[in-house]
């Protein structure tokens, strides 16, 4: 009889433990089994325009540094192998960052975005004409992921993705302004919009092509 009592006590103790564990891990609500403790998956993709550190020059310094551009947070990350450190490059208005291997150049500028908001950030230089400068904004955004709420769903990781390129023109010493297409650009050229539109049409310029934009900046600068 003692053995039977001990067996029953042990059996019900184990059964109770298993039942509690199952309830805690897979509770049932409305006929569905829910999974507790799911965590967000690590984001995929990259927040950098180029993951590799590349040799670059600053317009206010002759020293070569190793940089990569964080297009998600809009700053340059600097690597120092000698010191074994990585740190953010201090932001300095008007200073141009040029990558030696590719010739790509960025400058910290004040500009007005598509919404008309004033922004201070890095823009990629397409044309550095003295009278008409054209820039491109290279940004990355984070597409949110999802966390599974039940056993019938699958968690999805957030993804870093490139935004569509945005273009800006700076005429003289004015603030750089967003433009979207030839008509937008022409409106920003004081008193010469008609001539600019005619030039774009005659030369069949593509305002998303860097070479064509450089030609447009040269022409616009010549008539101002």
Cα gap 193→186, rounded to integer Å: 4
Q: What is the pLDDT of residue 30?
A: 40
Q: What is the pLDDT of residue 32?
A: 40
Per-residue pLDDT of 9-22, as tens digits, reads: 444 444 443 344 44
Residues in Cβ contact with 164 at an 8 Å cutoff, skipping those fewer than 6 apart: none
- Residue 93 DSSP one-character state: T
Contacts 24+ apart (CB under 8 A), 147-156: 147/38, 147/39, 147/40, 148/35, 148/38, 149/34, 149/35, 149/38, 150/32, 150/33, 150/34, 150/35, 151/26, 151/32, 151/33, 151/34, 151/35, 152/32, 155/38, 155/40, 155/41, 156/41
- Of 211, 122, 203, which Cα lies nearest the Cα of 168? 122
Q: Are 174 and 131 in contact (CB under 8 A)?
A: no
Q: Are 214 and 205 in contact (CB under 8 A)?
A: no
Q: What is the pLDDT of residue 94?
A: 86
- Considering the entire predicted model, what is its pTM? 0.78
- Of 66, 117, 75, 73, which Cα lies nearest the Cα of 95? 75
Mark the ranges of the chain whose per-residue pLDDT is less than 50: 1-36
Q: What is the pLDDT of residue 13?
A: 46
Cα gap 91→109, rounded to integer Å: 10
Q: Are 34 and 147 in contact (CB under 8 A)?
A: no
CB atoms within 10 A of CB 35: 16
Each domain of the chain, given as residue ranges in start order, spans 37-180
Cα gap 119→147, rounded to integer Å: 34
- Residue 56 DSSP one-character state: E
């Amino acid at each position: 009889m003692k053995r039977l009592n001990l067996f029953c006590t042990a059996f019900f103790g184990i059964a109770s433990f298993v039942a509690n564990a199952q309830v805690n891990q897979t509770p049932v609500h409305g006929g569905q089994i829910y999974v507790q403790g799911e965590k967000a998956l690590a984001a995929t993709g990259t927040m950098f325009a180029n993951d590799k550190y590349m040799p670059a020059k600053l317009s206010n310094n002759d020293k070569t540094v190793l940089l990569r551009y964080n297009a998600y947070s809009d700053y340059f990350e600097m690597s120092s192998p000698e010191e074994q450190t990585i740190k953010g490059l201090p932001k300095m208005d008007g200073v141009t960052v040029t990558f030696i291997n590719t010739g790509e150049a960025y400058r910290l500028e004040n500009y007005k975005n598509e919404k008309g908001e004033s922004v201070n950030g890095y823009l990629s230089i397409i044309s550095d004409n003295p009278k008409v400068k054209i820039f491109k904004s290279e940004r990355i955004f984070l597409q949110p992921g999802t966390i599974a709420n039940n056993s019938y769903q699958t968690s999805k990781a957030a993804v870093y993705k490139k935004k569509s390129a945005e273009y800006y023109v700076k005429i003289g010493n004015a603030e750089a302004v967003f433009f979207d297409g030839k008509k937008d650009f022409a409106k920003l050229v004081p008193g010469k919009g008609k001539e600019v539109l005619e030039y774009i049409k005659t030369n069949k310029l593509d305002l998303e092509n860097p070479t064509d934009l450089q030609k447009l900046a040269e022409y616009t600068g010549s008539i101002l």
